[in-house]
Homo-oligomer: A and B are copies of this chain.
Protein backbone atom coordinates (compact mmCIF):
# COMPACT_ATOMS: atom_id res chain seq x y z
CA UNK A 1 0.00 0.00 0.00
CA UNK A 2 2.74 2.39 0.93
CA UNK A 3 4.63 1.51 -2.19
CA UNK A 4 1.74 2.13 -4.54
CA UNK A 5 1.13 5.46 -2.88
CA UNK A 6 4.76 6.51 -2.92
CA UNK A 7 5.56 5.54 -6.46
CA UNK A 8 3.24 8.00 -8.20
CA UNK A 9 4.47 10.79 -5.95
CA UNK A 10 8.13 10.11 -6.75
CA UNK A 11 7.29 9.61 -10.39
CA UNK A 12 5.28 12.85 -10.47
CA UNK A 13 8.14 14.70 -8.82
CA UNK A 14 10.61 13.36 -11.35
CA UNK A 15 8.30 14.33 -14.20
CA UNK A 16 7.93 17.79 -12.77
CA UNK A 17 11.68 18.26 -12.36
CA UNK A 18 12.22 17.00 -15.88
CA UNK A 19 9.54 19.37 -17.17
CA UNK A 20 11.10 22.41 -15.47
CA UNK A 21 14.49 21.44 -16.87
CA UNK A 22 12.96 21.04 -20.34
CA UNK A 23 11.27 24.43 -20.08
CA UNK A 24 14.56 26.06 -19.15
CA UNK A 25 16.27 24.27 -22.04
CA UNK A 26 13.67 25.48 -24.52
CA UNK A 27 13.98 29.04 -23.26
CA UNK A 28 17.77 28.91 -23.54
CA UNK A 29 17.73 27.41 -27.03
CA UNK A 30 15.15 29.89 -28.31
CA UNK A 31 17.00 32.86 -26.81
CA UNK A 32 20.18 31.64 -28.55
CA UNK A 33 18.33 31.32 -31.88
CA UNK A 34 16.92 34.86 -31.71
CA UNK A 35 20.25 36.33 -30.58
CA UNK A 36 22.15 34.50 -33.31
CA UNK A 37 19.69 35.56 -36.00
CA UNK A 38 19.66 39.21 -34.90
CA UNK A 39 23.42 39.47 -34.32
CA UNK A 40 25.02 37.26 -36.95
CA UNK A 41 22.14 36.44 -39.27
CA UNK A 42 22.93 35.69 -42.90
CA UNK A 43 19.35 35.76 -44.13
CA UNK A 44 19.48 39.28 -45.57
CA UNK A 45 22.84 38.68 -47.24
CA UNK A 46 21.54 35.45 -48.83
CA UNK A 47 18.40 37.26 -49.92
CA UNK A 48 20.52 39.93 -51.59
CA UNK A 49 22.23 37.26 -53.67
CA UNK A 50 19.06 35.36 -54.50
CA UNK A 51 17.01 38.42 -55.47
CA UNK A 52 19.65 40.65 -57.01
CA UNK A 53 22.35 38.39 -58.45
CA UNK A 54 20.03 35.57 -59.54
CA UNK A 55 16.89 37.69 -59.76
CA UNK A 56 13.35 36.65 -60.69
CA UNK A 57 12.92 32.85 -60.99
CA UNK A 58 9.84 31.80 -62.94
CA UNK A 59 9.45 28.00 -63.05
CA UNK A 60 11.31 26.51 -65.97
CA UNK A 61 13.50 29.60 -66.51
CA UNK A 62 17.31 29.56 -66.53
CA UNK A 63 17.20 31.70 -63.33
CA UNK A 64 15.09 29.07 -61.59
CA UNK A 65 17.70 26.45 -62.55
CA UNK A 66 20.44 28.74 -61.25
CA UNK A 67 18.57 29.16 -57.97
CA UNK A 68 18.26 25.37 -57.62
CA UNK A 69 22.02 24.96 -57.96
CA UNK A 70 22.65 27.89 -55.58
CA UNK A 71 20.29 26.33 -53.03
CA UNK A 72 22.03 22.96 -53.28
CA UNK A 73 25.47 24.49 -52.76
CA UNK A 74 24.26 26.68 -49.88
CA UNK A 75 22.84 23.67 -48.08
CA UNK A 76 26.14 21.82 -48.39
CA UNK A 77 28.17 24.82 -47.25
CA UNK A 78 25.85 25.48 -44.30
CA UNK A 79 26.21 21.89 -43.17
CA UNK A 80 23.19 19.79 -44.13
CA UNK A 81 23.89 16.09 -43.50
CA UNK A 82 22.80 15.40 -47.05
CA UNK A 83 21.02 17.13 -49.90
CA UNK A 84 18.31 15.38 -51.91
CA UNK A 85 17.58 16.69 -55.40
CA UNK A 86 13.94 15.73 -55.96
CA UNK A 87 13.21 15.85 -59.66
CA UNK A 88 9.97 17.43 -60.82
CA UNK A 89 8.69 18.51 -64.23
CA UNK A 90 7.40 22.08 -64.15
CA UNK A 91 5.43 24.35 -66.49
CA UNK A 92 7.40 26.94 -68.43
CA UNK A 93 5.43 30.06 -69.15
CA UNK A 94 7.13 33.17 -70.54
CA UNK A 95 5.79 36.70 -70.58
CA UNK A 96 7.40 37.87 -73.80
CA UNK A 97 7.42 41.55 -74.74
CA UNK A 98 5.92 44.15 -72.40
CA UNK A 99 2.15 44.14 -72.67
CA UNK A 100 0.04 47.02 -74.00
CA UNK A 101 -3.36 48.04 -72.62
CA UNK A 102 -5.37 51.00 -73.88
CA UNK A 103 -8.79 52.39 -73.01
CA UNK A 104 -10.67 53.57 -76.08
CA UNK A 105 -13.53 56.05 -75.72
CA UNK A 106 -14.87 59.19 -77.37
CA UNK A 107 -14.89 60.71 -73.88
CA UNK A 108 -11.08 60.61 -73.78
CA UNK A 109 -9.28 63.56 -75.39
CA UNK A 110 -7.61 61.96 -78.42
CA UNK A 111 -9.72 58.82 -77.91
CA UNK A 112 -7.08 56.65 -76.23
CA UNK A 113 -5.66 56.33 -72.71
CA UNK A 114 -2.87 53.87 -71.95
CA UNK A 115 -3.08 52.00 -68.62
CA UNK A 116 -0.54 49.67 -66.99
CA UNK A 117 -1.36 46.02 -67.65
CA UNK A 118 0.42 42.67 -67.49
CA UNK A 119 -0.47 39.17 -68.57
CA UNK A 120 -1.66 36.86 -65.82
CA UNK A 121 0.59 33.84 -65.43
CA UNK A 122 -0.51 30.98 -67.66
CA UNK A 123 -2.52 33.18 -70.02
CA UNK A 124 -2.46 32.72 -73.75
CA UNK A 125 -1.33 35.63 -75.97
CA UNK A 126 -3.60 37.96 -77.88
CA UNK A 127 -1.96 37.38 -81.22
CA UNK A 128 0.27 39.73 -83.13
CA UNK A 129 -2.34 42.44 -83.66
CA UNK A 130 -3.79 42.38 -80.20
CA UNK A 131 -7.42 42.12 -79.31
CA UNK A 132 -10.05 44.85 -79.12
CA UNK A 133 -13.56 44.89 -77.77
CA UNK A 134 -16.20 46.72 -75.81
CA UNK A 135 -15.74 46.36 -72.07
CA UNK A 136 -18.30 45.07 -69.61
CA UNK A 137 -17.50 45.73 -65.95
CA UNK A 138 -18.56 43.14 -63.37
CA UNK A 139 -17.70 42.53 -59.73
CA UNK A 140 -18.34 38.84 -59.27
CA UNK A 141 -19.39 35.69 -61.11
CA UNK A 142 -23.04 36.12 -60.11
CA UNK A 143 -23.20 39.52 -61.76
CA UNK A 144 -21.43 38.08 -64.82
CA UNK A 145 -23.84 35.17 -65.10
CA UNK A 146 -26.88 37.38 -64.66
CA UNK A 147 -25.72 39.46 -67.62
CA UNK A 148 -25.52 36.22 -69.57
CA UNK A 149 -24.31 35.44 -73.08
CA UNK A 150 -26.45 38.20 -74.61
CA UNK A 151 -24.46 40.93 -72.88
CA UNK A 152 -21.07 39.20 -72.72
CA UNK A 153 -20.53 37.52 -76.08
CA UNK A 154 -17.80 39.18 -78.10
CA UNK A 155 -16.93 41.54 -75.24
CA UNK A 156 -13.96 42.00 -72.93
CA UNK A 157 -14.99 41.35 -69.33
CA UNK A 158 -13.47 43.63 -66.71
CA UNK A 159 -13.47 42.14 -63.19
CA UNK A 160 -13.25 45.08 -60.80
CA UNK A 161 -14.07 43.85 -57.29
CA UNK A 162 -11.46 45.43 -54.97
CA UNK A 163 -9.90 43.69 -52.01
CA UNK A 164 -11.93 44.77 -48.94
CA UNK A 165 -9.82 47.38 -47.11
CA UNK A 166 -11.80 47.06 -43.87
CA UNK A 167 -10.55 43.52 -43.24
CA UNK A 168 -7.68 43.72 -40.76
CA UNK A 169 -5.80 40.71 -42.13
CA UNK A 170 -4.78 41.52 -45.70
CA UNK A 171 -4.78 37.82 -46.64
CA UNK A 172 -8.52 37.66 -45.91
CA UNK A 173 -9.03 40.60 -48.23
CA UNK A 174 -7.00 38.75 -50.88
CA UNK A 175 -9.01 35.55 -50.44
CA UNK A 176 -12.18 37.53 -50.99
CA UNK A 177 -11.08 38.87 -54.37
CA UNK A 178 -8.64 36.42 -55.96
CA UNK A 179 -11.20 34.12 -57.65
CA UNK A 180 -11.58 36.83 -60.30
CA UNK A 181 -7.92 36.38 -61.21
CA UNK A 182 -7.78 32.60 -60.98
CA UNK A 183 -11.06 31.64 -62.60
CA UNK A 184 -12.38 34.80 -64.24
CA UNK A 185 -11.18 33.98 -67.76
CA UNK A 186 -13.00 30.66 -68.01
CA UNK A 187 -16.15 31.97 -66.34
CA UNK A 188 -16.27 34.79 -68.90
CA UNK A 189 -15.32 32.53 -71.79
CA UNK A 190 -18.29 30.26 -71.03
CA UNK A 191 -20.46 33.24 -72.00
CA UNK A 192 -18.47 34.05 -75.11
CA UNK A 193 -16.13 36.78 -73.81
CA UNK A 194 -13.02 37.36 -75.93
CA UNK A 195 -10.66 38.42 -73.09
CA UNK A 196 -10.66 39.44 -69.41
CA UNK A 197 -9.01 42.28 -67.54
CA UNK A 198 -8.75 41.88 -63.77
CA UNK A 199 -8.20 44.58 -61.15
CA UNK A 200 -4.80 43.99 -59.51
CA UNK A 201 -4.83 42.17 -56.19
CA UNK A 202 -3.60 44.89 -53.86
CA UNK A 203 -4.96 47.31 -51.28
CA UNK A 204 -2.68 49.99 -52.71
CA UNK A 205 -3.79 52.67 -55.12
CA UNK A 206 -0.95 52.72 -57.62
CA UNK A 207 0.18 52.16 -61.19
CA UNK A 208 1.68 48.69 -60.85
CA UNK A 209 -0.11 45.75 -62.44
CA UNK A 210 0.16 42.62 -60.27
CA UNK A 211 0.53 39.27 -62.04
CA UNK A 212 -0.36 35.89 -60.54
CA UNK A 213 -1.62 32.50 -61.61
CA UNK A 214 -4.82 31.98 -63.60
CA UNK A 215 -6.09 28.64 -64.81
CA UNK A 216 -8.29 27.55 -67.69
CA UNK A 217 -11.17 25.19 -66.91
CA UNK A 218 -11.23 21.98 -68.93
CA UNK A 219 -13.37 22.11 -72.03
CA UNK A 220 -13.72 25.90 -72.01
CA UNK A 221 -12.20 28.08 -74.72
CA UNK A 222 -8.97 29.78 -73.61
CA UNK A 223 -9.07 33.57 -73.78
CA UNK A 224 -6.34 36.10 -72.86
CA UNK A 225 -6.30 37.31 -69.24
CA UNK A 226 -4.55 40.46 -68.03
CA UNK A 227 -4.23 42.40 -64.77
CA UNK A 228 -4.62 46.17 -64.73
CA UNK A 229 -3.20 48.42 -62.00
CA UNK A 230 -5.68 49.62 -59.38
CA UNK A 231 -5.44 53.22 -60.59
CA UNK A 232 -5.92 51.95 -64.15
CA UNK A 233 -8.96 49.96 -63.01
CA UNK A 234 -10.49 53.04 -61.37
CA UNK A 235 -9.92 55.02 -64.56
CA UNK A 236 -11.43 52.33 -66.77
CA UNK A 237 -14.45 52.11 -64.49
CA UNK A 238 -14.88 55.87 -64.66
CA UNK A 239 -14.84 55.85 -68.47
CA UNK A 240 -17.29 52.94 -68.64
CA UNK A 241 -19.72 54.93 -66.47
CA UNK A 242 -19.33 57.98 -68.71
CA UNK A 243 -19.45 56.03 -71.96
CA UNK A 244 -21.00 52.54 -72.13
CA UNK A 245 -19.32 52.07 -75.53
CA UNK A 246 -15.87 52.23 -73.89
CA UNK A 247 -13.58 49.63 -75.47
CA UNK A 248 -10.19 48.20 -74.60
CA UNK A 249 -7.20 47.21 -76.66
CA UNK A 250 -4.92 44.51 -75.24
CA UNK A 251 -1.72 43.07 -76.64
CA UNK A 252 0.23 40.27 -74.97
CA UNK A 253 2.95 37.99 -76.31
CA UNK A 254 3.13 35.43 -73.54
CA UNK A 255 3.35 31.72 -74.27
CA UNK A 256 3.56 28.35 -72.60
CA UNK A 257 6.64 26.36 -73.65
CA UNK A 258 7.14 22.62 -73.03
CA UNK A 259 7.56 21.52 -69.41
CA UNK A 260 11.09 21.70 -68.00
CA UNK A 261 12.92 19.41 -65.61
CA UNK A 262 13.55 21.06 -62.25
CA UNK A 263 13.98 20.12 -58.58
CA UNK A 264 12.85 20.51 -55.03
CA UNK A 265 16.09 20.94 -53.10
CA UNK A 266 15.88 19.08 -49.79
CA UNK A 267 18.47 19.55 -47.07
CA UNK A 268 18.46 16.83 -44.44
CA UNK A 269 19.48 17.19 -40.80
CA UNK A 270 19.35 13.68 -39.40
CA UNK A 271 17.53 13.22 -36.09
CA UNK A 272 19.67 12.00 -33.20
CA UNK A 273 16.99 9.91 -31.49
CA UNK A 274 14.04 9.45 -33.83
CA UNK A 275 15.57 9.72 -37.30
CA UNK A 276 12.53 8.10 -38.90
CA UNK A 277 10.22 10.91 -37.86
CA UNK A 278 10.41 13.94 -40.11
CA UNK A 279 9.66 17.61 -39.61
CA UNK A 280 9.43 19.43 -42.95
CA UNK A 281 10.15 23.15 -43.26
CA UNK A 282 10.51 25.35 -46.30
CA UNK A 283 9.55 28.08 -48.71
CA UNK A 284 9.36 28.23 -52.48
CA UNK A 285 12.29 28.92 -54.73
CA UNK A 286 10.38 29.99 -57.83
CA UNK A 287 8.92 33.51 -58.12
CA UNK A 288 7.03 35.72 -60.50
CA UNK A 289 8.96 37.82 -62.96
CA UNK A 290 7.84 41.46 -62.52
CA UNK A 291 9.94 42.00 -59.40
CA UNK A 292 12.85 39.93 -58.14
CA UNK A 293 11.11 37.49 -55.85
CA UNK A 294 12.67 38.99 -52.73
CA UNK A 295 9.54 38.85 -50.59
CA UNK A 296 7.66 36.09 -52.45
CA UNK A 297 9.27 33.87 -51.52
CA UNK A 298 12.96 34.70 -51.18
CA UNK A 299 12.28 35.45 -47.54
CA UNK A 300 10.91 31.95 -46.90
CA UNK A 301 13.90 30.41 -48.68
CA UNK A 302 16.58 32.26 -46.72
CA UNK A 303 14.72 31.79 -43.41
CA UNK A 304 14.70 28.05 -44.12
CA UNK A 305 18.41 28.02 -45.00
CA UNK A 306 19.15 29.96 -41.81
CA UNK A 307 17.75 27.05 -39.80
CA UNK A 308 20.57 24.82 -41.06
CA UNK A 309 23.19 27.50 -40.38
CA UNK A 310 21.93 28.34 -36.91
CA UNK A 311 21.45 24.73 -35.79
CA UNK A 312 25.03 24.00 -36.87
CA UNK A 313 26.51 27.17 -35.39
CA UNK A 314 24.72 26.75 -32.07
CA UNK A 315 25.20 22.98 -31.89
CA UNK A 316 21.47 22.27 -31.78
CA UNK A 317 20.94 18.57 -32.43
CA UNK A 318 17.31 17.80 -33.28
CA UNK A 319 15.95 14.47 -32.03
CA UNK A 320 13.83 14.01 -35.15
CA UNK A 321 15.00 14.42 -38.74
CA UNK A 322 14.43 17.77 -40.43
CA UNK A 323 13.80 18.25 -44.13
CA UNK A 324 14.57 21.81 -45.20
CA UNK A 325 12.80 22.06 -48.56
CA UNK A 326 13.22 24.70 -51.26
CA UNK A 327 10.00 23.92 -53.14
CA UNK A 328 9.80 24.50 -56.89
CA UNK A 329 6.80 25.88 -58.79
CA UNK A 330 4.51 27.09 -56.03
CA UNK A 331 3.34 30.02 -58.12
CA UNK A 332 1.91 28.35 -61.19
CA UNK A 333 1.33 24.67 -60.68
CA UNK A 334 2.39 23.54 -57.22
CA UNK A 335 4.24 20.70 -58.88
CA UNK A 336 7.03 20.77 -56.27
CA UNK A 337 4.71 20.66 -53.26
CA UNK A 338 2.71 17.88 -54.89
CA UNK A 339 5.83 15.90 -55.75
CA UNK A 340 7.15 16.15 -52.19
CA UNK A 341 3.79 14.96 -50.83
CA UNK A 342 3.59 12.05 -53.30
CA UNK A 343 7.09 10.87 -52.43
CA UNK A 344 6.32 11.18 -48.71
CA UNK A 345 3.16 9.16 -49.21
CA UNK A 346 5.20 6.36 -50.83
CA UNK A 347 7.90 6.56 -48.15
CA UNK A 348 6.71 3.92 -45.68
CA UNK A 349 9.94 3.96 -43.69
CA UNK A 350 9.38 7.49 -42.35
CA UNK A 351 6.63 9.24 -40.46
CA UNK A 352 6.05 12.86 -41.49
CA UNK A 353 4.84 14.52 -38.31
CA UNK A 354 4.73 18.21 -39.20
CA UNK A 355 5.34 20.61 -42.09
CA UNK A 356 5.93 24.36 -41.72
CA UNK A 357 6.13 26.91 -44.53
CA UNK A 358 7.18 30.55 -44.65
CA UNK A 359 5.43 32.14 -47.62
CA UNK A 360 3.61 35.13 -46.16
CA UNK A 361 6.45 37.65 -46.27
CA UNK A 362 9.50 38.55 -44.23
CA UNK A 363 7.66 40.98 -41.92
CA UNK A 364 7.58 40.98 -38.11
CA UNK A 365 6.42 37.50 -37.14
CA UNK A 366 3.18 37.44 -35.17
CA UNK A 367 2.30 33.75 -35.04
CA UNK A 368 1.61 30.57 -36.94
CA UNK A 369 -1.55 29.52 -38.75
CA UNK A 370 -2.02 25.86 -37.91
CA UNK A 371 -4.11 23.80 -40.30
CA UNK A 372 -5.32 20.90 -38.22
CA UNK A 373 -8.07 19.91 -35.80
CA UNK A 374 -8.50 21.98 -32.64
CA UNK A 375 -7.03 19.25 -30.41
CA UNK A 376 -3.74 19.34 -32.30
CA UNK A 377 -3.83 23.13 -32.43
CA UNK A 378 -4.10 23.08 -28.65
CA UNK A 379 -1.00 20.89 -28.39
CA UNK A 380 1.02 23.43 -30.37
CA UNK A 381 -0.64 26.36 -28.59
CA UNK A 382 0.88 25.13 -25.31
CA UNK A 383 4.16 26.52 -26.61
CA UNK A 384 2.77 30.06 -26.60
CA UNK A 385 4.70 31.11 -23.48
CA UNK A 386 7.96 30.30 -25.26
CA UNK A 387 7.12 32.60 -28.17
CA UNK A 388 5.55 35.51 -26.31
CA UNK A 389 8.83 37.21 -25.29
CA UNK A 390 9.48 37.60 -29.02
CA UNK A 391 6.14 39.27 -29.81
CA UNK A 392 4.84 36.07 -31.41
CA UNK A 393 1.39 35.57 -29.86
CA UNK A 394 -0.88 33.81 -32.34
CA UNK A 395 -0.55 30.04 -32.41
CA UNK A 396 -3.99 29.37 -33.83
CA UNK A 397 -6.06 27.54 -36.39
CA UNK A 398 -5.67 28.81 -39.93
CA UNK A 399 -4.63 27.84 -43.44
CA UNK A 400 -1.14 26.44 -43.96
CA UNK A 401 1.23 27.18 -46.83
CA UNK A 402 0.34 25.92 -50.31
CA UNK A 403 3.43 23.73 -50.60
CA UNK A 404 2.77 21.83 -47.38
CA UNK A 405 -1.02 21.62 -47.01
CA UNK A 406 -1.25 18.25 -48.77
CA UNK A 407 0.90 16.74 -46.00
CA UNK A 408 -2.25 16.81 -43.85
CA UNK A 409 -3.30 13.66 -45.65
CA UNK A 410 -0.33 11.93 -43.98
CA UNK A 411 -1.53 13.23 -40.59
CA UNK A 412 1.28 15.74 -40.42
CA UNK A 413 0.38 18.97 -38.64
CA UNK A 414 0.80 21.65 -41.30
CA UNK A 415 1.29 25.32 -40.59
CA UNK A 416 2.51 28.63 -41.96
CA UNK A 417 4.44 31.46 -40.38
CA UNK A 418 2.05 34.42 -39.98
CA UNK A 419 3.93 37.73 -40.14
CA UNK A 420 2.27 41.14 -39.98
CA UNK A 421 0.20 41.21 -43.19
CA UNK A 422 -0.23 44.91 -43.92
CA UNK A 423 2.54 45.41 -46.48
CA UNK A 424 2.37 42.01 -48.19
CA UNK A 425 0.11 42.99 -51.09
CA UNK A 426 1.99 46.21 -51.81
CA UNK A 427 4.86 43.99 -52.86
CA UNK A 428 3.14 40.82 -54.05
CA UNK A 429 3.60 39.81 -57.71
CA UNK A 430 4.63 43.23 -58.96
CA UNK A 431 7.73 45.31 -59.56
CA UNK A 432 7.96 46.22 -55.86
CA UNK A 433 9.03 42.70 -54.92
CA UNK A 434 12.65 43.75 -54.35
CA UNK A 435 15.18 43.54 -51.52
CA UNK A 436 14.63 47.15 -50.42
CA UNK A 437 11.09 46.25 -49.31
CA UNK A 438 12.40 43.67 -46.84
CA UNK A 439 13.60 44.89 -43.44
CA UNK A 440 16.63 42.95 -42.16
CA UNK A 441 15.49 42.74 -38.54
CA UNK A 442 11.96 41.69 -39.41
CA UNK A 443 13.42 39.00 -41.69
CA UNK A 444 15.78 37.82 -38.95
CA UNK A 445 13.01 37.67 -36.36
CA UNK A 446 11.04 35.51 -38.79
CA UNK A 447 14.03 33.19 -39.29
CA UNK A 448 14.45 32.74 -35.54
CA UNK A 449 10.72 32.12 -35.15
CA UNK A 450 10.75 29.45 -37.87
CA UNK A 451 13.87 27.85 -36.36
CA UNK A 452 12.26 27.83 -32.91
CA UNK A 453 9.10 26.13 -34.13
CA UNK A 454 11.13 23.52 -36.03
CA UNK A 455 13.27 22.90 -32.94
CA UNK A 456 10.15 22.42 -30.77
CA UNK A 457 8.51 20.10 -33.30
CA UNK A 458 11.70 18.07 -33.81
CA UNK A 459 12.48 17.69 -30.12
CA UNK A 460 9.06 17.47 -28.52
CA UNK A 461 6.91 16.09 -31.34
CA UNK A 462 3.27 16.78 -31.94
CA UNK A 463 1.76 14.21 -29.60
CA UNK A 464 0.27 12.50 -32.64
Contacts and interface: CB of A to CB of B under 8 A. Distances in A.
Interface of A: 34-35, 38-39, 165-166, 168, 170, 203-204, 364, 366, 389-391, 393, 420, 422-423, 426, 439-442, 445
Contacts of A166: 34-35, 38-39
A268 to B, nearest CB: 30
Given A168-B445, A422-B442, 18 more contacts: A35-B166, A38-B165, A38-B166, A39-B165, A39-B166, A165-B441, A168-B391, A170-B441, A203-B441, A364-B422, A366-B391, A391-B420, A420-B420, A422-B439, A422-B441, A422-B445, A423-B439, A423-B442
Nearest to A390: B168
A50 to B, nearest CB: 20
A436 B442 CA distance: 18
Nearest to A392: B168
Contacts of A393: 393
A420 B364 contact: yes
A368 to B, nearest CB: 15
Nearest to A425: B441
Q: Oligomeric state, in number of copies?
A: 2
Nearest to A203: B441
Contacts of A170: 441
A36 to B, nearest CB: 9
A97 to B, nearest CB: 30
Given A366-B391, A391-B366, A168 B422 contact: no
Contact of A34 (B39, B168, B440): B168
7 contacts: A34-B166, A204-B440, A364-B420, A364-B422, A420-B420, A422-B439, A423-B441
A166 B36 CA distance: 8
A236 to B, nearest CB: 21
A134 B423 CA distance: 47
Contacts of A364: 364, 420, 422
Nearest to A364: B420
Nearest to A32: B166
A204 B444 CA distance: 13
Nearest to A443: B422
The 5 closest A-B pairs by CB, nearest first: A35-B166, A422-B441, A38-B165, A364-B420, A422-B442
A261 B170 CA distance: 45
A306 to B, nearest CB: 15
A156 to B, nearest CB: 29
A442 B364 CA distance: 13
Contact of A439 (B34, B38, B39, B426): B426
Contacts of A203: 441
